[in-house]
Amino acid sequence: MSGNEAKYIREAFDTNWIAPLGPNVDAFEKEIANYVGVNEAVALSSGTAAIHLALILLGVETGDKVFCSSLTFVASANPILYQGAEPVFIDSEPETWNMSPDALKRALQDAAIEGKLPKAIIVVNLYGQSAKMNEIVALCNEFGVPMIEDAAESLGSTYKGKPSGTFGEFGIFSFNGNKIITTSGGGMLVTNDHEKAQKARFLATQARDSAQHYQHSSRGYNYRMSNILAGIGRAQLEVLEDRVKARRLIYERYAQELGSIPGLFFMSELKETHSNRWLTALTIEEMEAGFSANEVIQSLAEANIEARPVWKPLHLQPLFAGVTYYPHDEERDISEELFFKGLCLPSGSNLMIEEQLRVINVIKSAVKLKV
């Protein structure tokens, strides 16, 4: 916590605004919209809810196809299933670890030949790193398919000077407990379309019609953020830039201390981008290093330090068995490579130097024992 959250929470209690509406919600929406430079922001209960509403607003229905990054958390794709639509997973490319424009182009060409283009494309910015937006946006425009930018992990990042989350028809942010700023649970849908933002607010409050009595003509959802949580978010947003600086310093220290070890390769930063470095991630080439990512994770666990593999690709998940998948090219499945070779190191904004050095020293010791 930043220390200022109590002020906004106290205001909510003092004014008796406890419900999922109120001054903090209104202000938080405006502050996020101003921060990323869009016309509208809609505060919601989660980033997943934001993706779900984006799909509804784009008219995704049963039988439609939606293309989605494969190397991501399942929350990016679950809303596709909510709508009865069919996900098609797109591989990563090696430079950003994000959606491969080459694989996306092949998938769109095949869909065009079939006469059934996807209703939407969900592009994820993994671990704070922007995807190759110029190439992906160009493909979306060429084939006339709207993009949803899943920026759940990349608030505070930029691509060629433009804030993450502002490249698609909709952008989504998450304020889950593990994100760079948190409301404990929550999300935000951002767009430049005022009418669609208003429709999102309508759907997120159980789609209640404008009538004196309770009347409903559309299916709605209980997706709005509470005024208390929005107050926490306002205080968190005030320190976002400090959090980004802290995460980038953590990454730089890891890279400086461990980058010279043979076979270790840190997730790079695409030219003309600025990543929030939400998580410090790297891959280990076992043949070159003499040890594997899993062995490093185990060594850290023995020292009571938690590290994790990168996301398991969605096309490998039992939930999505048999779903269509487009690899980066015929020779390489990048997301699968990253899953087997990658790991994420402790990267919290409040990670103290001595704590980080303990992580580094455990890895160095583990490496010496293996080589």
**Residue/partner pairs of 265-273 with CB below 8 Å, 24 or more apart:** 267/97, 267/127, 267/129, 268/95, 268/96, 269/129, 270/95, 270/96, 270/129, 270/130, 270/132, 270/159, 272/159, 272/160, 272/161, 273/129, 273/130, 273/157, 273/158, 273/159, 273/160
Say if CB 277 and CB 128 are below 8 A apart: yes
Of the candidates 65, 109, 100, the one whose C-alpha atom is nearest the C-alpha of residue 336 is 100
Domain ranges in the chain are 5-239, 241-370
- Domain made up of 241-370: CATH architecture: Alpha-Beta Complex (3.90)
Token pair 């990267």 is found at 347
List CB contacts of 267: < 8 A, sequence separation 6 or more: 97, 127, 129, 280, 281, 282, 283
Q: Per-residue confidence at 345, pLDDT binned at 50, 70, 90?
A: very high
- Domain made up of 5-239: CATH architecture: 3-Layer(aba) Sandwich (3.40)
Amino acid 370: pLDDT:
61
pLDDT digit string, tens, across residues 187-208: 999 999 999 999 999 999 987 8
Calculate ∠ Cα 6-9-10, nearest 5°.
Answer: 80
pLDDT digit string, tens, across residues 258-278: 999 999 999 999 999 999 999
Tell me the backbone φ, ψ of residue 209, rounded to 5 degrees.
-70, 160
Helical spans, DSSP H, in 259-352: 286-289, 293-302, 334-341
Q: Per-residue confidence at 255, pLDDT binned at 50, 70, 90?
A: very high
